[in-house]
Amino acid sequence: MADYTLDTQLIHAGEPRPRIEGAVSTPIFCSANFESQNESSYHDLRYIRLNNTPNHIVLHEKLAAVEKGEAGLVTSSGMAAICTTLLTVLGGGGHLLAQNCLYGGTHSLVTEDLPELGINTTFLDIHKPASWEAALHPETKGFYVESMTNPTVQVGELTSVVEFCKKHGLISIIDNTFATPFNFRPLEHGFDLVVHSATKYLNGHSDIVAGAVIGSQEMVDKILHRLNHLGATLDPHACFLFQRGMKTLALRMERQNSNALTLARFLASRDEVTGVNYPGLESHPDHQRASSLFRGFGGVLSFELRGGVESAQRLIEQVKLPVNAPSLGGVETLITQPCRSSHSGVPREERLKIGITDSLVRVAVGIEHPDDLVADFKQALGPN
Ligand SMILES: *Cc1c(COP(=O)(O)O)cnc(C)c1O
């Protein structure tokens, strides 16, 4: 499979050959346990929680192929992937470096839960590599970043993160949910571990919650071992939907990349819009870096309107196609105010420091026709 392009791997990698009972689509294995084959290790017994049904195995191979890793692992949610990975990398009181603008759930995990287990995190400005060394402790074990931040869609000094980790013997972990392997494959750039909320683009249809981890066989085995004990397994029914969703990732991302760029350009051209965050715009401060690392700039953008919170709320009420809902990565366009959804758990002062004002609007662009989307935002904004 390694010789094929990502678009082809999405469809064929991991699929059983010969097909099971000739079924073109992998059937759902609705069996908690399987007949013993004289396995010698507990982890080899075939049991859903041990993540080794045929539905899990297909996904593990497909994920590894498309992210160019030795091994992949599917989990019950993105947070399960992140939490299990961090506990494995940092266990026993390790110290973590992390970028200062993280997905809200991850921010809460590292500031509220992990400290109770003796694991502390120092937040860094991901655009200022010169400032990182001062944050190192003797116990520092890992560096956690996101390929694009939510919701301001910044792209940090990702290649510097890899160099810094190699120099100081740290494990580099990247949440690649926003970019997806279609736009960016971090392992090819030297990252050690990739995590995903597969709830978003990988599955792409807003109908399951799932997560993924990809990396070396050795590290993924350790994380799998921990996952088997923590029990955050994906149900085979959800595995089936995830597998089906992944097959169309390339088609969906192509359209979402171009739809988001079209909408970002339209919004930037309007007087009512005071600023648009989208790395595909030449005006975005990270445009150069994003262009050199990514194939496309993803489906998420955010913007501010003249008139602040009230104008933002009015726009959200006036658009007809986008659903006012949190989350992202599905085929339908969603619109939300991050201060009320993804980042409602982050204290207001901290939110403002990372550019998440009360009036910021985020759009997660779907695969509708771009003309319909632009026309909808045009009517919602009113006459120019
Ligand atoms: C949604 C999201 C998560 C959490 O994933 P769940 O599947 O909701 O647990 C983590 N990171 C990013 C960037 C996300 O968008």
With pLDDT > 70 as the criterion, what percentage of the chain qualifies?
A: 100
Ligand 1: residue whose CA is nearest its atom 5: 78
Q: Is the pLDDT of residue 25 over 80?
A: yes
Over residues 53-102, the pLDDT tens digits come to 999 999 999 999 999 999 999 999 999 999 999 999 998 889 999 999 89
Q: What is the pLDDT of residue 346?
A: 78
294 lines ligand 1 (CB under 6 A): no
Q: What is the pLDDT of residue 287?
A: 97
245 lines ligand 1 (CB under 6 A): no
* CA 299 remoteness from chain centre: 12
299 lines ligand 1 (CB under 6 A): no
Ligand 1: residue whose CA is nearest its atom 4: 78
Q: Is the pLDDT of residue 384 over 80?
A: no
Question: Could you tell which of 74, 79, 194, 206 is best to mutate to test the pocket of ligand 1, judged by most ligand atoms within 8 Å of the CB?
Answer: 79
Ligand 1: residue whose CA is nearest its atom 6: 78
85 lines ligand 1 (CB under 6 A): no
Task: State the helix-helix crossing angle for 217-230 and 78-90, rounded to 10 degrees.
Answer: 110
298 lines ligand 1 (CB under 6 A): no
Selection from 355, 145, 367 nearest residue 248 by Cα: 367
Q: What is the pLDDT of residue 123?
A: 97
Over residues 233-251, the pLDDT tens digits come to 999 999 999 999 999 999 9
211 lines ligand 1 (CB under 6 A): yes
Q: Is the pLDDT of residue 46 over 90?
A: yes
Ligand 1: residue whose CA is nearest its atom 8: 78
Q: What is the pLDDT of residue 308?
A: 87
CA of 132 to the centre of ligand 1 (A): 25
Our answer to whether residue 252 is catalytic in this structure is no
Mean pLDDT of 357-375: 96
| C-beta separation of 286 from 154 below 8 A | yes
Q: What mean pLDDT value characterizes the chain?
A: 96
pLDDT band with cut points at 50, 70 and 90 for residue 106: very high
Q: What is the pLDDT of residue 79?
A: 98
Atom of ligand 1 nearest to the CA of 150: 13
Cα–Cα distances in Å, from 32 out to 14, 26, 233, 243? 21, 17, 12, 19
Over residues 122-175, the pLDDT tens digits come to 999 999 999 999 999 999 999 999 999 999 999 999 999 999 999 999 999 999
pLDDT band with cut points at 50, 70 and 90 for residue 344: confident
Q: What is the pLDDT of residue 180?
A: 98
CA of 210 to the centre of ligand 1 (A): 9
Atom of ligand 1 nearest to the CA of 209: 7
Q: Is the pLDDT of residue 372 over 80?
A: yes
Atom of ligand 1 nearest to the CA of 328: 15
77 lines ligand 1 (CB under 6 A): yes
Q: What is the pLDDT of residue 96?
A: 98
Catalytic site residue from 62, 141, 175, 362:
175
Atom of ligand 1 nearest to the CA of 79: 9
| C-beta separation of 181 from 170 below 8 A | no
**Residues pairing with 335 in the sheet:** 324, 363
User: What string of H, E and C letters represents the secondary structure of 62-115?
Assistant: HHHHHHCCCEEEEECCHHHHHHHHHHHHHCCCCEEEEECCCCHHHHHHHHHHHH
pLDDT band with cut points at 50, 70 and 90 for residue 327: very high
Q: What is the pLDDT of residue 351?
A: 84
In the chain the domains, ranked by start, together with CATH numbers, are 6-246 (3.40.640.10), 250-381 (3.90.1150.10)
Q: Is the pLDDT of residue 345 over 80?
A: no
Q: What is the pLDDT of residue 350?
A: 83
CA of 278 to the centre of ligand 1 (A): 20
Cα–Cα distances in Å, from 210 out to 188, 195, 198, 357? 24, 11, 5, 29
pLDDT band with cut points at 50, 70 and 90 for residue 382: confident
CA of 354 to the centre of ligand 1 (A): 18
CA distance 278 to 260: 8
Q: What is the pLDDT of residue 1?
A: 80
Give 350 or 64, the one with higher predicted confidence: 64
Question: Could you tell which of 177, 178, 230, 336 is best to mutate to test the pocket of ligand 1, judged by most ligand atoms within 8 Å of the CB?
Answer: 177
Over residues 261-305, the pLDDT tens digits come to 999 999 999 999 999 999 999 999 999 999 999 999 999 999 999
Q: What is the pLDDT of residue 2?
A: 81
149 lines ligand 1 (CB under 6 A): no
Q: What is the pLDDT of residue 181?
A: 98
Q: Is the pLDDT of residue 324 over 80?
A: yes
Over residues 32-43, the pLDDT tens digits come to 999 999 888 888
Our answer to whether residue 103 is catalytic in this structure is yes
Mean pLDDT of 180-194: 98
Who's near 240: CB < 8 A, 6+ residues apart? 26, 28, 55
326 lines ligand 1 (CB under 6 A): no
Dihedral sign computed on CA atoms, order 230, 66, 254, 205: negative
Q: What is the pLDDT of residue 313?
A: 93
User: And the tokens for 209?
Assistant: 């919650």
Question: Could you tell which of 150, 196, 197 is best to mutate to test the pocket of ligand 1, judged by most ligand atoms within 8 Å of the CB?
Answer: 197
Our answer to whether residue 278 is catalytic in this structure is no
